[in-house]
Chain A
Amino acid sequence: MKSLLFKTASDYLLPLLLLFSVFMLLRGHYEPGGGFVGGLMAAIAFLIHSFAHGLKETRNIIRINPGMLMPIGLLLTLLAGIAPWLIGQPFLTGLWFEEPFRFVGVVGTALLFDIGVYLVVIGATLTIMFSITETV
């Protein structure tokens, strides 16, 4: 799409939407949001950018192959599950730091888990979308 308006808008939309997606991810534990929705939004952000600037440009911005996000995400979710084993708790027990962190709030394995989901969703969505775009 060769619309100048769309191109310019997408330049600003990408960081904004990405920021928003991280916000969604972080607030998920207390307010509506979460890793899944956050991941979808981040994917949409990149997708809009690729519409405006072409796929190559977007791939340059992401730098790594978005497919790689999937194993990383899966590993994080698994890590969140295995972590309790270290202190002798069953698989996937929620663990929490005592003190809340600034801006983020109380951090626990659930956050790690959600980040994993977030990455998998971005990776899977972008892989699907990009491979379709490239082939069609």
Chain B
Amino acid sequence: MILAVLSGFIFAALVPFFSKFFKRTIPFVLCALPILLFIYFISFLNQIELGSYLMFSYSWVPSLGIDLDFRLDGLSILFALMITGIGSLVFLYTANYLKGHQYLDRFYGYLSMFMASMLGVVLSDNLMTMFVFWELTSISSFFLIGFNNEDAASRKSALTALGITGLGGLVLLAGIVILASVGNSYSFTELLGSSDVIKSSSSYHWIIGLVFVGAFTKSAQFPFHFWLPGAMKAPTPVSTYLHSATMVKAGIYLLARFTPLLGDTYWWNGTLVTIGAITMIYAAIHSLFRVDLKSILAYSTISALGILVFLIGIGTEKALLGAAIFILAHALYKAALFLITGIIDHETGSRDASKLAGLQKVMMPVAIAGFIAALSSAGVPLLIGFISKEVMYEATLQLGQWAIILTILIVLTKIFLFVAGFWAGIKPFTGPLPKEFQKAHLPSALLWVPPLLLSVLSVVFGVFPGLLEKSLIQSVFSSISGSATIIDLKLWHGFNTALMLSILTLVVGFAIYWFLQPSEKNFQKTIRFERISPEALTRDFGNIFSWFAGFWTRFFQNGYLRNYVITILAFLTFLMAYRIFIGVKIHIDWDQISTVTPSEIIVVTLMIISIFIAIFSKSRTTSIVALGVVGFANCLFFLFYSAPDLAMTQFSIDTLTVLLFMLILFRLPKNKTYSSKTIRIRDGVLSLIFGTLVAILVLEVFEYPSSTDISKFYADNAYVLAKGRNVVNIILVDYRASDTIVETVVLVIAAIGVYSLMKLDLNPIKKN
């Protein structure tokens, strides 16, 4: 299992090395990965019965309760199958879509990285592990959205998406930490047992609030939705994979996953229904004012995500069942529509819904796929979209006093989505073929087979819902709702209100489609509301923030090293002086201070003399050497007080510092001007105060009884646990080895930073 999850990362790491040798065949080699994974997950289907689940545990950081535990139940297998299944199709599609692209290998690397992170999110049982994968999806999607990195708009959308989802991720982390501290475990399976404790705890509202922000940012809910239309700058395979079928559903997954744990309370249901309803209706209306096919699809996707949040919020068994089916139905038809849009764009060079028409004459198979997908999106009988819509309507109709208003909302949304689906899937193919698109022709089978396959699945599952019922949807339903009710999916529900509403949806939807054409004029009408949209407000906030950051940076980091030092010292002096002022007894315990030996006096004298030389010398070299002497004298002190490790390190560092100074100062001209007397006095006074305060601080440290437990533990166990006698080194390489890893990484970053600062030459005049 761990191999299945991480294989995408391994592939991504290997691709750059091998792509040179198999330039042509590499896409096909890579397609094998999602296909194999898909088969692998299919093989688990029959093991996951009603509410049961499989656990796969690998220890990672057991001491912190963070392990690579994977939980395979209905919900996670549904997502795993969607991720690998649609992944396979997208991998195949890309092979032709981006054929001959310079960075095709890079693209596949990002894609497999993304697939692996997404699998990690949906399979992890440990919440901390899930969070790590969650962030990885944000990062890999950043690379994918910004894939055309020479396009400024692309880079900007990538940053917006990363900013919003990354921020949401941080909030989610806070939620997870609180949740884990209340429930006393990071494991979802264990937390599930203490569901009541969590729901009645005082931090419950914090937990759900923070989790909501995480889920809403990821799943593009109002008011965080605007990153998704922007993310459509990505190549179409990315939009298909990330922004309709998988990544944006991660938030939905999270809410569905947490429903049995946190759900079924007033605030949980109320918030989700409200936000879901606003999102679904707001985005559905928006989608009718768009002209770009991808924009239409983006807004209809946001609307569909809103529906899912809405259904999870309603929280009745019917509603959760509706959500379970709709997740699958939506993934099937929306991915198909996106792929079709990609084909149209690829062949005609246009995505303008108001101009495209008549393409069925030149690309029949694509048109068939488009028709079916649009019909499924509309919820026409015999398609899976119909079944999901029926269940949804039944769910809202059951709600008693809220039934009417919620049903009206969902029917309206569905009508608008009907139109949006038709615009994307049917309109480009019907009518007369305009002259400008005469030259378009049917692309390679690699492009049109994937959407056709998805559409055919919509039909197969729509006609034979029994195929899904027992094998998949039943277990998805039990893992979301936690109940053991046996579900029953039917094509024919009899003449009831839901069917009437369905017919109403179809009729009104078709009427709107007939009379309303996508046009540039309608799109322009929405522009005037742009000022108050969440996107514009966020942008204004961002501008103010970056202006402030610029001001702040210019003020404190003005490029003069001496000013930096002064600022730091002054601030520290202020802090320490304040602390001493509000009450520290200055008291020197002479007993604790060891007797002064002659050698120490000699070293101290040496230090003082060199300090004076450093200050008053007229030559830079002399000053530097004098400073070096101070450092080396310091080493002697470390040696006197038995800290050889420290002495050695300090010695090497001092040597390096002197060498570095020499390197640079050696080449500078002789000192000509000196700082004025007042500045020198100011600096001297500040340094003296600072030095005195540090001395007081050190003396104060003696006042507190030092705890020897920790050092004793290290000393006692160094040999037993880590087979070494040098405790300092054992701490570095064993006890605190992960710290050391991070520190080495920091060192590398610093080196790269210096290198790029030194070598990067942005001055155009110099270059010429």
B663 in contact with A132 (CB, 8 Å): yes
**9 pairs from A and B in contact (CB 8 Å cutoff):** A29-B730, A34-B726, A44-B652, A67-B751, A91-B60, A117-B732, A120-B747, A121-B747, A134-B758
Which residues of chain B come closer than 8 Å to A114, judged between CB atoms?
729, 733
* Most A-side CB within 10 Å, residue of B648, B728, B733, B737: B733
Among B653, B737, B754, residue most surrounded by chain A Cβ atoms (within 10 Å)? B737
Instruction: Choose among B653, B663, B721, B729 the residue that contacts A28 (Cβ–Cβ < 8 A).
Output: B729
- CB pair B745–A74 under 8 Å, yes or no, is yes
**Contact count band on B:** 35 or more
B516 interface residue, CB < 8 Å from A?
no
- List the B side residues contacting A73 at CB < 8 Å: 744
Contacts of A85 in B (CB 8 A): 58
List chain B residues, Cβ under 8 A from A129: 656, 659-660, 663
Known contacts A89-B59, A90-B60: A34-B725 contact under CB 8 Å = no
**Given A36-B649, A127-B754, A81 contacting B737 (CB threshold 8 A):** yes
Of the candidate stretches A4-12, A56-64, A105-113, the one touching chain B is A105-113
Contact at A94–B755, with CB atoms within 8 Å? no
Q: Which of A37, A78, A106, A120 interacts with B652 by CB under 8 Å?
A: A37
CA of A91 to CA of B667 in the docked complex: distance in angstroms?
48
Q: Which of A31, A41, A123, A132 contacts B754 (CB 8 A)?
A: A132
Asked if A3 CB lies within 8 Å of chain B CBs, one says no
Check A110–B758 contact: CB distance below 8 A.
no
Nearest-neighbour CB distance to chain A for B657, whole angstroms, equals 11
- Closest Cβ of chain A to B634, distance in Å, is 16
In contact, B644 and A32 (Cβ under 8 angstroms): yes
Whether A117 contacts B61 in the complex (CB less than 8 A), given A128-B750, A131-B759, comes out as no
Please tell me if A22 contacts chain B, counting CB pairs below 8 Å. no
Asked if B758 and A32 sit within 8 Å, CB to CB, the answer is: no
- Find the B residue at minimum CB distance from A96: B723
* A52 sits at the interface (CB 8 A): no
Decide yes or no whether B724 CB sits under 8 A from chain A: yes
Query: CB within 8 A of B648: which of A32, A117, A120?
Result: A32
User: Is the CB–CB distance between A128 and B755 below 8 Å?
Assistant: yes
- Chain B residues near A74 (CB, 8 Å)? 744-745, 748
CA distance A25 to B728 in the complex (A): 13
B68 vs chain A, min Cβ distance (A): 10
The digit string for A114-136, where 1 denotes a CB below 8 A from any CB of B, is 10110011011101110111111
Contacts of A33 in B (CB 8 A): 645, 648, 726, 729
In the complex, the answer to whether A41 meets B652 with C-beta atoms within 8 Å is yes
User: Complex: how many Å from CA A132 to CA B58?
Assistant: 46
Which 10 residue pairs spanning A and B have beta carbons closest together?
A: A40-B652, A124-B751, A32-B644, A29-B724, A131-B758, A34-B729, A127-B751, A135-B758, A30-B725, A120-B744
CB-CB under 8 A for A32 and B733, given A44-B655, A120-B744, A136-B667: no
Query: Considering the chains assembled together, what is the distance between the CA atoms of A85 and B59 in angstroms?
Result: 8
Q: Which residue of B lies closest to A134 (CB)?
A: B758
A136 touches B751 (CB 8 A): no
A121–B732 alpha-carbon span in the complex (Å): 14
Question: Are the CB atoms of A31 and B652 closer together than 8 Å?
Answer: no
Asked if residues A132 and B664 are in contact (CB atoms below 8 Å), the reply is yes
List 4 additional contacts besides A43-B656, A47-B656, A136-B664; criterion CB under 8 Å.
A31-B726, A32-B648, A106-B723, A108-B723
B741, CB-defined interface residue at 8 Å: yes
Query: Does A13 lie at the interface of the complex (its beta carbon under 8 Å from any beta carbon of B)?
Result: no
**B559 CB within 8 Å of chain A:** no
- Give the distance in Å from the alpha carbon of A88 to the alpha carbon of B2 in the complex: 12
Q: Which residues of B contact A43 (CB under 8 A)?
A: 656
Determine if B722 is an interface residue (Cβ-Cβ < 8 Å): yes
B738 CB-CB contact with A under 8 Å: yes
Q: Are B754 and A94 in contact (CB under 8 A)?
A: no
Q: Are A133 and B723 in contact (CB under 8 A)?
A: no
- In the assembled complex, the Cα of A96 lies from the Cα of B723 at a distance in Å of 9
A110 touches B751 (CB 8 A): no
Is A23 on the interface with B (CB-CB < 8 A)? no
Instruction: For the complex, give the distance between the alpha carbons of A33 and B722 in Å.
Output: 16
Partner among A41, A90, A94, A132 whose Cβ is within 8 Å of the Cβ of B59: A90
- What is the distance, in angstroms, from A87's C-beta to the closest C-beta of chain B? 11
Can you name the residue of chain A whose Cβ is closest to the Cβ of B665? A136
Q: Which residue of chain B lies nearest to A110 when distances are taken between CB atoms in the complex? A: B733
- B751: chain A residues at CB < 8 Å are 67, 70, 123-125, 127-128
Q: Using Cβ atoms and an 8 Å threshold, which residues of chain B touch A125?
A: 656, 751
Given A43-B656, A78-B741, A132-B664, do A127 and B729 touch, yes or no (CB 8 Å)? no
Chain B residue contacts of A41, Cβ below 8 A: 652
Interface string of B707-734 (1 = CB under 8 A from A): 0000000000000011111101110111
A124 touches B656 (CB 8 A): no
Contacting A at CB under 8 A, from B733-764, are 733-734, 737-738, 740-741, 744-745, 747-748, 750-752, 754-755, 758-759
Q: Hey, which chain A residues are within 8 Å of B741, CB to CB?
A: 77-78, 81
The answer to whether A110 touches B659 (Cβ under 8 A) is no
**Contact yes or no, A30 B724, CB < 8 A:** yes
What is the CA–CA distance of A51 and B666 in the complex, to the nearest angstrom? 12
State the CA gap A110–B724 with chains docked (Å): 10
Q: Of B645, B664, B723, B748, which one neighbours A94 at CB under 8 angstroms?
A: B723
In the bound complex, CA of A34 to CA of B660 (Å): 23
Cross-chain contact A113 with B660 (CB below 8 angstroms):
no
A19 lies within 8 A of chain B by Cβ? no
Chain B: minimal CB distance from A56 (Å): 15
Contact of A77 among B644, B648, B664, B744 (CB under 8 A): B744
Inter-subunit contact A90/B61 (CB<8 Å): yes
A92 on interface, CB distance cutoff 8 Å: yes
Interface string of B535-573 (1 = CB under 8 A from A): 000000000000000000000000000000000000000
Q: Is B705 interfacial (CB 8 A cutoff)?
A: no
**In the bound complex, what is the Cα–Cα distance between A48 and B61 (angstroms)?**
43
Contact of B729 among A29, A78, A133 (CB under 8 A): A29
Minimum Cβ distance to chain B for residue A108 (Å)? 7
A114 to chain B, nearest CB (A): 5
| Min CB gap A34→B, angstroms | 4
Chain A residues, CB < 8 A from B61: 90-91
* Chain B neighbourhood of A124, CB < 8 A: 747-748, 750-751
Given A81-B741, A114-B733, A135-B759, A51-B724 contact (CB < 8 Å):
no
Q: How far is the CB of B459 from chain A (nearest CB, A)?
A: 45
Q: A43 to B652, alpha carbons, bound, how many Å?
A: 9
Query: Which residues in chain B, 27-63, are within 8 Å of chain A measured between CB atoms?
Result: 58-63
Using Cβ atoms and an 8 Å threshold, which residues of chain B touch A70? 748, 751
Q: Please, which residues of chain B bring their CB within 8 A of the CB of A78?
A: 741
The listed residue with most A CB atoms (<10 A of its CB), out of B652, B656, B744, is B744
| Complex alpha-carbon distance, A131 and B747, angstroms | 15
What residues of chain A lie closer than 8 Å to B729, measured between beta carbons?
A: 28-29, 33-34, 114
Assuming A34-B645, A74-B745, A124-B747, is B723 touching A136 (CB within 8 A)?
no
Contact indicator per residue, chain B 391-428, by CB within 8 Å of chain A (1) or not (0): 00000000000000000000000000000000000000
Residues in B neighbouring A134, C-beta threshold 8 A? 758
Using A78-B741, A110-B733 as known contacts, say yes or no to A44 and B748 having CB atoms under 8 A apart: no
Please measure, in the bound complex, the distance between the C-alpha atom of A117 and the C-alpha atom of B737, giving whole angstroms. Answer: 11
Return the CB mask of B636-676 against A: 1 if under 8 Å, else 0: 00000000110011001101100110011001000000000
Question: Which B residues lie within 8 Å of A88 (CB)?
Answer: 58-59
Which residue on chain A has the smallest CB distance to residue B659?
A: A47
Q: Quick one: which of B59, B725, B741 has the most chain A CB within 10 A?
A: B741
Closest chain-A Cβ to B135's Cβ sits at a distance in Å of 18
Chain B residue contacts of A116, Cβ below 8 A: 744
Q: How far is the CA of A87 from the CA of B562 in the complex (A)?
A: 54
With the chains together, A24 CA to B261 CA distance in Å? 55
Q: In the assembled complex, which residues on chain A have CB atoms less than 8 Å from the CB atom of B59?
A: 88-90
Cβ-defined partner of B656 (8 Å) among A40, A92, A120, A133:
A40
Give chain A nearest CB distance to B725 CB in angstroms.
4
Which residue of chain B has its CB nearest to the CB of A37?
B648
Q: Is B747 a contact partner of A34 (Cβ separation < 8 A)?
A: no
A21 vs chain B, min Cβ distance (A) = 10
